[in-house]
Amino acid sequence: MIFIARLSQVHLGRRVWLAVGAMTAGLAGFLGAASPTPGRRPPGVLIWVTAAVVTVGVIVFLARSTFGPARVALLRVTAGLGFAFTATFMKATTDLAGKGLAVLLTSWEP
């Protein structure tokens, strides 16, 4: 956002800078509290399906019950979740591609 604002010569106001700082601090706090480490094994089919169904169900429920700015925020979160799922599937695909074409073509993940 900051890079695009600079390119388009748009002045970012104080509220925007506060929001950027709050999001950065929130992300840093989350990563510090979560202490992410490499996993031991990839999730199975049941985990993937459960995560997708629960995520879509919550989004549909909230989308039908919100209006105005709250709905806009929900759509932004939905886009972020979509990108997260895509990134996860891309990572699984590239990991499988490293094991060979036969493994990639016979796996369910991608």
pLDDT of residue 110: 53
Sort residue 9 into left (φ over 0), alpha (ψ -120 to 50) or beta.
left
- What phi, psi does 71 have (nearest 5°)? -70, -40
pLDDT of residue 1: 67
Please count the CA atoms within 13 angstroms of the CA of 76 that sit on its side-chain side: 6
Per-residue confidence at 25, pLDDT binned at 50, 70, 90? very high
pLDDT digits (tens, 9 = 90+) for 27-39: 899 888 887 777 7
pLDDT digits (tens, 9 = 90+) for 38-90: 777 777 778 888 988 888 888 888 888 888 888 888 888 888 888 888 888 88
Q: What average pLDDT does the segment 3-12 reach?
A: 81
**Collapsed DSSP state (helix, strand, coil) of residue 95:** helix
> Which has the higher per-residue pLDDT, 100 or 44?
100
Q: What average pLDDT does the segment 84-103 reach?
A: 85
